[in-house]
Structures are given as C-alpha cells and as structure tokens.
Chains A and B, each alone.
Chain A
Amino acid sequence: MTDKIIKPSSLISRRTTLKGVGAAAGAGLISATAPGFVRYAQAQTSAPIKLGLELHRTGIGASYGRWYERVANAAVKIINDEGGINGRPVQLIVEDDGTDPKRGAEVIEKFATQHKVDLVFGTLFSNVVVGAAPRAGELKMPYLVVSEGTHVSSGSLNRYCFQPGITDVRSQVTAMAPFMTKNLGKKVTMMFPDYAFGYDHRDNLPAAIKAQGGEVVEMIAVPPTETSFTRYLPRIPANTDVLYHVMVGPSVLTFVTELGEFYGSQHPAIFGFIDSIEAVDLKTPQLDFLEGSYFWEGNPRYAQKDQSQWDKLYRAAVGVDDTGASVHDPKDISTYAHMYGVWETLFVIKQAMQKAGYQGPQDKAKFIEALESFDKFEEGRDHPQGDKIFNGKNHQAYGHQNISKVESGRLNVVHRTAIEDGGPQTTADYTKMAL
C-alpha cells in the first residue's frame, strides 16, 4: 500500500494548548472575542495541492474503498510525474469514514480544518455523501463524489458538490430500460436493497420501463442485513419476464444460490447491476446460476476484443489484469465497473484547476466556476471509460453504459448505450446558489 496519510498535526497537547493560551494573552482581549483564533495562514504556492480522499476503508463499502484508493494513487502518480497541477505537486490525504454518514460529516470537518485540504473527493455510498454534503457546503469545501447516486443531479445538495466522473443511477437505468424491454421482456420484477443506493433504482426504473411500454410488476425491497432470501423469492410474480436485481455484500452469493434453488433451469431473464458482484469472482461456484444473465457495467471488468488503448493504459496503471483481478493477486477482484470514476474525477480536478489558474484555497470559487464551465470530456487517457457530457448546472456527468452478458464465466459486452439514452437531464441549477 502506498498510503499517504498526514498524521494529525494539531491534536490537543499540552504544548499546543499552552501555545494557544499564550497567543490569546498576546493578542489581547479583542482577538480573544473571536473563537478559533489560532487559525494560521494556508500554505504558500510552493506547497503541494492537498486533495482529501474520503474513503470507505472500513464498513460495508470497504471493498470499493480499497480499490478507490489504489486508483487514486495511480492517477496522482501520473499527475505528479507530469509536473503536478499548475507547477505544484499533488498530495493525497486519506481519511476513513467507516461508510458511516455521521463519521463522513466529521471527516469533512477534519479535512477542512485540520488537514486544510484544497478539496475532498471519492465518496461512494450515497448515505455518506448525503450526510457529509451539508458540512462540505457550509465549510465551502469542494466535494467531488464518485457515487452514482442521484443526489447531486437532483439538486438536493449544494453548489460545492459535483459528480464529474460517473453517471448517476437515474440516467443509468433510463439507458438500460430500452435494452431490457426490447430483448428480455416487458414485465419486470425488481429486487433491491432497502438501503441508500437501492432507492435510486426503486425511484427511477419503473418510470424508465413504463416509458418503453413495459411494466414493473413487483418491487421487492430487501433489508441489507438479510442473510437469506427464501422468503422474498415467492413474491416474484409468475408472469415476470425479467428479474432485475441490485444486491450488495457477501449475501449476494446466498442470493444467487437460493435463486438457483428456487427456479431450477426454468427462470426469467436476469438483469443485474454489477454492484451485486463488484469485487466478487465470477468463477465462484455459487455464481454458476448467473451464466447467461446480463449486467450493467460502467466500465467492463473483462478486457473486451475491441478494448481501447486508453483502457489498456488505465488497466495497467491501476494494476488490474484482463479479467478484472489485481495483477498481484488473481483472487483480489477489482471494483472495475465503478472505480474509473475516481481516475476521471482526478483528471477533471486537474483540468479545472488549470483552467482556474488555481493557486490555493483563495481560488476555490474560481475552481467551482471552472468546473461549472465544462460541457464535455473527450475519451482519452484522462477519460478511459469513454467520452462524457457534463452539465455545469446540475454538476453531473453523463456517459455511455455497458450491458454485458455472462458467457463461460466472463462478462462480454453485448450493448453499449449512447449518452443520450440516459434521457433528459434534471433541471437542477446549483449556479444560482451563492459561492
């Protein structure tokens, strides 16, 4: 691991307390009426640009967090090898939020006031994003998430929150719906976690299917703590053409096994979001039942026949082989479908800082406005997943989506959507908010 953690520099100690008291005495009562007076000036221009990576190192999102960190380190290495940003090196500072919204908010405060980072990025789980976003806005801390959640584009957060590296779930499912209804069937049953990210699927898929002349016949919400699914499976209507699932965590193996036992060889078409098996080896025996089923993938886990040079470069840089596993350990499966978002976000940060002539926290407003001025990102080294359009008003990027089929234990892309398939963008406008 190449963690770059800055140890807390201002923990309460006898010395810092005495120093503060001494400074208070020196500054006199006038300054003492302004709490928090021991603030100090931000680093000067020769100092590194400090990027706070709010990471799910522990908790339910830990498998994602591990790979998000590796991708961030790989991208930062390239940026620094090329001279940093505006002539300044980039330094990553990592804090674990435990995949917990309360801790997420605390971590934002720590980044802003103790580490004094220039911005924070990388948060995945939407409950953590929603919990931390108000603090980011109030501390005027740019917060670039890699979450897929529809929270940013919905307009419910604030001007400092962006999602420039990955498409939101609303657009993802809208882009998936035509493929499902045309190729797999019109009657869809959803099984989704009764937990944060499950709601975006619950809220957006029915309308997307209906728009294609189909129908969601049953919605089965499963508590995330559930370890057996046998009592939910009988709720799947017999006339279901497509079973749509978005499960998460170790229970997905039980889910697939029990699904196989429930259906046997006769079953509806199965369409899942790769979230169900991110970081899980497809060759795991319990997953045999998934053969022939379909998955959404942001970025295809397996190197495809028409693999772009950019994916080849990116894959090598983050240490992932052609099957989506770590080059150091074939059992260590990456979260390949999502983690490109961290890479692309970092290069968007670089691009925006360059455009803004960013020199330090005093330029945060310029940075935000530079980000908002983007309208597209071209496919290339910085955007290996593909080109994207960016909506500077709702702060959300929109890209291509991949639909892959499980064939002989690997995922082969059978359809790649156009960006426009994601449907109309939300009309939220953060630019009306004050900076």
Chain B
Amino acid sequence: MIQSRQSAVIILHIAAILLLFVLQFVLPDYHQLAMTRVMVLAIFAMGYNMLFGYTGLLSLGHAMFFAAGLYGAGLTAYYFGWSVPVAFVAGIGSGFVLSLVIGLVSLRTSGVAFMIVTMMFAQVAYLTTTYFTDYTRGEEGLVLPQAARSFDLLGVHFDLTSAVLRYNLSLVLLAATVAITLLIVRGPLGRALVAIRENEPRTVMLGYDTFRLKLMAVTLSGTISAMAGATYALLFAYIGAGFATIQYSIEALLFTLLGGAGTVLGPLVGTAAMFYLIDIASSYTVAYMLAVGIALVLLVLFFPKGILGTIRERWLPWLP
C-alpha cells in the first residue's frame, strides 16, 4: 500500500512536469510566454511554501530573498560582465547568505513577531535598493546588457531571447525545485519540519534542535526564492526595486494559500491561477484587483486549504 502510494506520488509529479513540457507545443504564443513567467514565480512560491507550508513560519519578507537573487545575478552581469551561469550562481549565493543571516536573527522570534521582523528586514532590503540608486537606479531599474542575453555552456550556445529556451530553462529549474522539495518533505528533514509546524514544544521534547531545523528551512526557502529571482533577472533582462516591495512578499503568500500551503504542487497551481485571474479580469474591468480579492475571499470561505489542499483533504490524502 505504502509502496503504491509512493509510486503514485512520483508518477503524479513526473506527469505534472511532462504536462508542462507538452503544453509548450499546444499553447498559443502568449500563453507560452505567460507560463514561462508563471513557472519562475512558482519556484519563488515553492521556496516560500517550504517555510510557510511545511514549517509553519509565516514570513512577510520573502521579497528580499527574491530581490537578493535578482540583484545578485543582475548587478554582477551588468557591472562585472559575469556570464549568465556565473551570475546565476552569484544570485543563488546572495540569497543563501542573506537567508542564513536573516534566519539567525529573525528566528529568535516566533509567531506574529517573526512575521513583523521579516517584514521589517524586507523593508530594509527594499530601501537599500533605492538608497544605492547610483548603482541600482532604484525603482526605474536596469536593463541587462546584450552580452547577458546569451551564454555558452559545455560547448552549447544558449540564446536567452528565444522564447522556447526560456520556457524550457524555467521548466528544468521548476522540475529541479519540485524534486528537491519532494525529497525534503518526504524525507526525515521534512517530517521534522512538519512536526515543528504542528507542535514545536513537543518536537523539542522529542530531542530535535528546532532552531537549527528552522534555520535550515529559512535558508532553503530563501535560497530557492533567490534562485527564482536570479532566473527572473536573467531570463527577462530587467532588475528593479519594485521586485523588493512588500507586494511581492504578499504575492508569494497568496500564490501558496491559493494553491494549497503544504502541498508540493500547490504553489504552481496557485501562481498560475492568480496570474490568469489578473490577466482575464483586467481584460474586462479596471477594478480587476477587486475581482481577484472577491475570488480570494470566496476561496478562503469554501476552500480554506487552497486548491490542492482541499483536493488532498477530500480525495487524495496521500498528496504530498
């Protein structure tokens, strides 16, 4: 029984990635481009979900990790002329270091205080991007140079202006994130994180060093979010302070809540649903954010656990 459920989990997630792969052959051009952005933002939401969905820590500052990746990759490509792969690693590295430091400080708090502290750190990060406008051009931002629009790796030339390449690069990174998330949440670390979410004092009593575990969760979550930021900068050639605003922290939370916190594919579903809610509603009314708000209220009322969370609760209890 357990073996068959395990197989079902693996098959389901491979099928989801395969579906995304096949979609590029079916989708009209616009939706192909849109899904590329959705996949990158879904990686961000999956990073967020690692902390919020599985560890139970509500952060309102994840835009700073996304921005760390965005600026880490974008500024090194812009000013130092680093190649795309190196800049990408620099972006991830920035997110890793920042999330480790932020984790060490902010995990001294919990609950509402953790939420406020992360929000304040994120505000500091945002103001930092606007303070150093000589380098970042703040809100206006920077366009990445032509040299950062292509790269060579292992003898293969990659042209980032190609929509097909961007789609598939996003898909590869998304698949890697799904795999890493699955490995973690179904492994001992994931179970310990869920234990913290459900009852931290009891987890401590069982002998777990919860601070260390939570620090790992913050760092993992921040690094994955930074990877999304680095990907966004390099794929779409623009970096700007707008990505460090609280709006993006809230969006990661909404994507996760909408799709289902604590489910591996929930953030992907939530990101796609939110993107298309805005996209379609804005075609009909200027008050599209109101329409989105009403949709979210209805969701909370009738599907409080999000789309996949509700599916798991009612029909597929084995969904990770």
Partner of A12, one of B27, B141, B289: B27
**Chain A interface size range:** 35 or more
Find chain A residues with CB under 8 A from B238 CB.
Answer: 101, 105, 130-131, 134
Q: B163–A36 contact, CB under 8 A?
A: yes
Question: Closest residue of chain B to A31, judged by CB?
Answer: B25
Interface-lining segment among A2-10, A180-188, A320-328 = A2-10
Is A424 close to B, CB under 8 A? Answer: no
Q: How far is the CB of A274 from chain B (nearest CB, A)?
A: 20
Judged by a CB distance under 8 angstroms, whether B62 is at the interface is no
Q: Check B140–A35 contact: CB distance below 8 A.
A: no
With A35-B164, A127-B141, A127-B242 given, is the CB distance from A5 to B283 under 8 Å? yes
Do B144 and A10 touch across chains, with their CB atoms under 8 A apart?
A: no
- Number of chain B residues close to chain A: CB under 8 A: 43
Q: A109 contacts which of B33, B149, B286 (Cβ < 8 Å)?
A: B33
Q: Is the CB of B27 within 8 A of A134?
A: no
Q: Of the candidates A95, A106, A194, A223, which one forms a contact with B34 in the assembled complex, judged by CB atoms under 8 Å apart? A: A106
Cβ contact within 8 Å between A127 and B236: no
B31 within 8 A of A: yes
Shortest distance from the beta carbon of A224 to any chain B beta carbon, whole Å: 8
Tell me if A110 is interfacial: C-beta within 8 Å of chain B.
Answer: yes
Stretch from A16-24, A351-359, A380-388 forming part of the interface with B = A16-24
Given contacts A57-B286, A109-B34, A199-B133, contact A131 B26 (CB under 8 A): no
| Residue from the set A16, A35, A57, A100 with the largest chain B CB neighbour count within 10 Å | A35
Q: B residues within 8 A CB of A195?
A: 130, 138-139
Cβ-defined contact, B243 with A113, below 8 A: no
Taking a contact as CB atoms under 8 Å apart, the answer to whether B130 and A194 are in contact is yes
Give residues 136-156 of B contacting A (CB, 8 Å): 137-144, 149
Residues of A within 8 A of B27 (CB): 12, 20, 36, 38
Min CB distance, A17 to chain B, in Å? 6
B24, B25, B236 interface centre (most CB from chain A within 10 Å): B25
The answer to whether A134 touches B236, judged by C-beta atoms less than 8 angstroms apart, is yes
Q: Do A114 and B236 contact each other (CB < 8 Å), given the known contacts A109-B34, A138-B161?
A: no
Chain B nearest CB from A57 CB (Å) reads: 5
Contact A38 B28 (CB under 8 A): yes
With known contacts A35-B25, A36-B24, A135-B236, A114–B30 Cβ distance under 8 A: yes
Write out the residue numbers on chain B whose beta carbons fall within 8 Å of the beta carbon of A135.
236-237
Residues of B close to A21: CB separation below 8 A: 26
B236 and A105 contacting across the interface, CB-CB below 8 Å? yes
The answer on a CB contact under 8 Å between A101 and B236 is no
CB-CB under 8 A for A114 and B28, given A102-B243, A127-B242, A131-B240 = yes
- A37, A95, A96, A114: most-surrounded residue (chain B CB, <10 A): A114
Query: Is B282 at the interface (CB under 8 A from chain A)?
Result: yes
The answer to whether A196 and B139 have CB atoms under 8 Å apart is yes
Q: Give per-residue flags for A98-131: 1 if the beta carbon is below 8 A from chain B beta carbons, else 0.
A: 1011100110011011100000000000110011
- Once bound together, how far apart are the Cα atoms of A57 and B284, in whole Å? 12
Taken together as a complex, chains A and B put the C-alpha atoms of A39 and B243 apart, in Å, by 32
A156, CB-defined interface residue at 8 Å: yes
Which of B24, B31, B139, B238 gathers most chain A CB within 10 Å? B139
Q: Are A151 and B282 in contact (CB under 8 A)?
A: no
- Contact between A199 and B138 (Cβ–Cβ < 8 Å)? yes
The answer to whether B138 and A194 have CB atoms under 8 Å apart is yes
Asked whether, in the complex, the Cβ of A110 is within 8 Å of the Cβ of B30, the reply is: yes
Q: Point out the residue from B37, B240, B243 that lies within 8 Å of A130, measured CB to CB.
A: B240
Residue-wise, chain B 163-179 has the 8 Å CB interface mask toward A (1 for contact) of 11001000000000000
Q: Which A residues, 119 to 153, have Cβ-Cβ distances below 8 Å to chain B? A: 126-127, 130-131, 133-135, 138, 149, 151
With A and B bound together, what is the CA distance between A110 and B163 in angstroms? 13
Specify which chain B residues have a CB less than 8 angstroms from the CB of A20 in the assembled complex: 25-28
Q: How far is the CA of A317 from the CA of B296 in the complex (A)?
A: 42
A100, closest chain B residue (CB): B242
Contact A113-B240, Cβ < 8 Å, known A130-B141, A199-B133, A223-B130? no
- Shortest distance in angstroms between B27's beta carbon and chain A's nearest beta carbon? 7
CB contact list, B102-130 vs A, under 8 A: 127, 130
CB of B170 to closest CB in A, whole Å: 13
Complex-state Cα separation, A134 to B140, whole angstroms: 13
Q: Which residues of A contact B276 (CB under 8 A)?
A: 11
Set A24, A105, A112, A223: member contacting B26, Cβ < 8 A: A24
Q: Does A157 contact B (CB under 8 A)?
A: yes
Give the CA-CA distance A57 to B26 in the complex, in Å: 32
Among residues of B, the one whose C-beta sits closest to the C-beta of A157 is: B143
A71 to chain B, nearest CB (A): 18
Q: How far is the CB of B140 from chain A (nearest CB, A)?
A: 4
Closest residue of B by beta carbon distance from A108: B33
Q: Is the CB of B32 within 8 A of A127?
A: no
CA distance A32 to B27 in the complex (A): 12
19 A–B contacts, CB within 8 A, in A order: A5-B283, A8-B279, A12-B31, A16-B28, A38-B27, A95-B282, A96-B288, A102-B243, A110-B34, A113-B32, A114-B30, A127-B242, A130-B140, A130-B141, A134-B144, A135-B236, A156-B142, A156-B143, A223-B127
New A-B contacts (4) at CB < 8 Å, excluding given A20-B25, A36-B32, A130-B143? A11-B280, A17-B26, A101-B240, A102-B242
A residues lining the B interface (CB < 8 Å): 5, 7-8, 10-12, 16-17, 20-21, 24, 32, 35-39, 57-58, 95-96, 98, 100-102, 105-106, 109-110, 112-114, 126-127, 130-131, 133-135, 138, 149, 151, 156-157, 194-197, 199, 223-224
Interface positions of B (Cβ within 8 A of A): 24-34, 37, 127, 130, 133, 137-144, 149, 161, 163-164, 167, 236-238, 240, 242-243, 276, 279-280, 282-284, 286, 288-289
